Amino acid sequence: MTYAELLTRLSGYGLPVGGADVPGATPQHLPSGPCDDILATLVAWCRIETMETVLSRSAVIDALGPLRLRYMTDPDAPITTFQLLTRFIEATDAAFDDAVLDRHHPLSS
């Protein structure tokens, strides 16, 4: 799945990931939002250079592990930030599941 497709699917699950559909959007320049720290970590860890960079489920989840650990161990981290990251991880897993289902069982017209 490409980075743009992941963002589109995450947005469809109600996550405020901003703009894969914004003209001129790049991984490094998306509209600002609550997921900025998560997306910046993902872009850096997975070396995402374009919106068409292909990502694997394991790479995305692995990239978010250190951030999750940081939020879990920092007593000053807001609980809402940890909850957002948890939602992001769950939605990412669902996005990859849905992509596989779409490939193997496309909706008939």
pLDDT digits (tens, 9 = 90+) for 27-36: 776 667 788 8
pLDDT digits (tens, 9 = 90+) for 82-103: 999 999 999 999 999 998 888 8
Q: Look at residue 21 in the predicted model and tell me its pLDDT.
A: 58
Of 14, 74, 63, whose CA–CA distance to 37 is shortest? 63
Tell me how far apart the alpha carbons of residues 66 and 54 are, in angstroms, rounded to a whole number: 21
Residue type, 57: R
Tell me how far apart the alpha carbons of residues 76 and 5 are, in angstroms, rounded to a whole number: 33
What's the token pair of residue 77? 């981290």
What does pTM read for this prediction? 0.83
| 8-state DSSP, 2 | B
With cut-offs at 50, 70 and 90, classify the pLDDT of residue 45. Answer: very high
pLDDT above 60: residue 25: yes
Q: Domain segments of the chain: what residues?
A: 3-99
